[in-house]
Chain A
Amino acid sequence: MSVSDFKLREVATSEFMNRGLGAKLTDNSQILIQGLSQGDFSGTEPSAISFACGSIIERVFWQAYGSWIGYFNAVPPVTEFEKEFLGEHAELLKELEMPPQFQEICLRLGHLDSATEERFYRETFPFIPLRLPMPEWFPAFQASLITSELLNDPPITTFFLFLQQGDVKLFNEHTPDPEAVFSHLQGDDFTAPFHADPKRPEPVIAGFIRYIEFLSAMDGIFPDISTASFAEAGEAIPNRIVDRDILFSFLRQYRWRFPVRGFDRYQAALMAFSRLTASEFEKYPAMGLQWSFVETFMAVMRLSRKFFFEFSESDLQGEEDPRVIDETQRRRRAINLRIQTLRGDLAFGASASTS
Chain B
Amino acid sequence: MTLPQHGKCFALLSNASDEEVKRAVIFIHGFNGSARSTWTDFLSLVDDPAASSNWWDTADLFFFHYQWDSIFRQLTNNTLNIFKFIENIFPTPEIIGRAHAYRSESFAYEELVLVGHSEGGLLLRKVIIEAAERDGAILAFMREAKYQKQSQPMPQGMLKAKLRLFAPALGGDMQSGLAGVIASLPVVSHALSSSAAKKGMDQGSPSVTEARRRTDRYAEDIWFDCFRAHIIWAEKDSIINSEKYAEDKQCHHFPPGSSHTSVCKPTLTYPLPLAFVEEGVDRYECK
Residues of A within 8 A of B (CB): 1, 5-8, 11, 15, 19-20, 135-136, 138-140, 142-144, 146-147, 149-150, 178-179, 181-182, 185-188, 209, 212-217, 220-221, 223, 225, 238, 240-241, 244, 276-277, 280-281, 283-284, 286-293, 295-296, 299-300, 303, 355
Contacts and interface: CB of A to CB of B under 8 A. Distances in A.
A288 B195 contact: yes
Given A182-B178, A216-B261, A287-B199, A277 B40 contact: no
Overall SS of chain B's interface: mixed
A324 B278 CA distance: 36
A138 B47 contact: yes
Interface of B: 1-2, 7, 10, 12-13, 15, 32, 34, 36-38, 40-41, 43-51, 57, 68, 71-72, 100, 102, 174, 177-179, 181-183, 185-188, 190-195, 198-199, 238, 261, 265, 267-269
A142 B15 contact: no
A187 B68 contact: yes
A284 B176 CA distance: 11
A140 B72 CA distance: 32
A143 B37 CA distance: 10
B79 to A, nearest CB: 21
Contacts of B10: 146
Among A178, A289, A355, the most chain B Cβ lie within 10 Å of the Cβ of A289
Contacts of B185: 209, 212-213, 216
Contacts, number: 161
Contacts of A216: 37, 185-187, 261
A171 to B, nearest CB: 19
A320 B211 CA distance: 56
Given A150-B37, A287-B198, A299 B47 contact: no
A209 B267 contact: no
A326 B35 CA distance: 37
A207 to B, nearest CB: 13
B40 A143 contact: yes
B47 A220 contact: no
Contacts of A136: 47-48
A20 B36 CA distance: 12
Contacts of B43: 139, 142-143, 146
Given A139-B45, A150-B34, A186 B174 contact: no
